[in-house]
Every structure is written in structure tokens, then in C-alpha cells.
Structure 1
Amino acid sequence: MNISVELTLSPLQNNYEAHIITFIKKLRASEFTVLENPLSTQIYGDYDTLMPFLNKEIKQSFLEVDIAVLQMKIVKTDRSDYEPDF
């Protein structure tokens, strides 16, 4: 089953940008399709392989900061090829 996941990581610290960049680079280096915009990052793939990967990377990211907020939306379909028709 393919899924689309939207992630927004918000480290609550002064040097937040470096932490976000590190997290996104780890997503980019994966086997999954990754798309970015200024507000969030989307990653697409098979549920059974993508979720364990995200679990590992989110945990690692959380270990590197004192406080962080991660917003995640999961859609049960691969929306990586979505193009608005308006």
C-alpha cells in the first residue's frame, strides 16, 4: 500500500535551521520520493518500508534537540504526481 506523508519539523531552539536541514537531507538520501516546499516536506512510498524509516529518522532527530514539534499527515495513496487543474 502506497502512502503520502507530509512532515513539518519545528525544533524549539535558537539554531533550528541547521536541525531542519539535517533532517531533510536524511530524507533526501533515502530511497523514497521527496518533495519540498517552504512550509513542509512530503515523502512518498510503500507503507511497510516508509514508516519504519520515518520512525528511525524522527527518533534520531528528537534525540538531537531538547524540544521539537513534528506535525505529520498521512494519506493512503501516492500523491507525488499531483498537479492542480485550476
Structure 2
Amino acid sequence: MNISVELTLSPLQDNYEELIIGFIKKIRASGFTVLENPLSTQIYGDYDDIMKLLNGEIKLALELMENGLMYIKIVKTDRSNYEPDF
């Protein structure tokens, strides 16, 4: 089953940029289709493969933060080719 996942990492600390950049670079290097915008990172592919990757990377990101949030949205389809028609 293919999914689309939107991730927003929000460290609640002064040195937040380094943590966000490190997390995004690991997601980029995963080999999945990855799209980014200023507010979130989206990753697209097979559910089991993505969740296996995210399980480790989210845990590591949370361990590296003093305090923070990880927002996750999961859609049951690959929306990587979505283009608005309006």
C-alpha cells in the first residue's frame, strides 16, 4: 500500500536549525520520493518501508531534542504527483 506522509519537526529550543537540517538530510538520503516546502517535508512510497525508516529517524530526532514536537499526517495514497486544478 502506498502512502504520503507529511512531517513537521519543531524543536522547542534555541539550537533548532541543526536538528531540523539533520533530520531532513536523512529523509532525503532514504531513496524515497521527498518533497519539501518551508513548513514541512513530504515522503512518498510503500507503507511498510516508510514506517520502518520513520520509526528510527523520528526516535533519533526526539532523543536529540531537549523538548519538541513532531507533527505527522498520513494519507493512504501516493500524492506526489498532485497538481491543483484551480
TM-score by length of structure 1 reads 0.97
Q: Which residue of 1 aligns with 2:78?
A: 78
Return the offset for 1:66: 1.2
CA distance in 1, matches of 2:70, 2:61: 10
Gaps of 5+ in 1: none
Q: Which residue of 2 aligns with 1:28?
A: 28
Q: Which amino acid in structure 2 is aligned with residue 53 of structure 1?
A: L
1:14 partner SS: coil
1:7 partner SS: strand
Gaps of 5+ in 2: none
1:44 partner SS: strand
Return the offset for 1:20: 0.4
| CA RMSD, Structure 1 to Structure 2 (Å) | 0.6
Return the offset for 1:68: 1.3
Return the offset for 1:63: 1.1
Alignment of 1:28-67 (within 5 A): 28-67=28-67
Give percent identity, aligned residues only: 71
2:44 partner SS: strand
Superposition misfits of 4+ residues, deviation over 3 angstroms: none
Q: Which residue of 1 aligns with 2:9?
A: 9
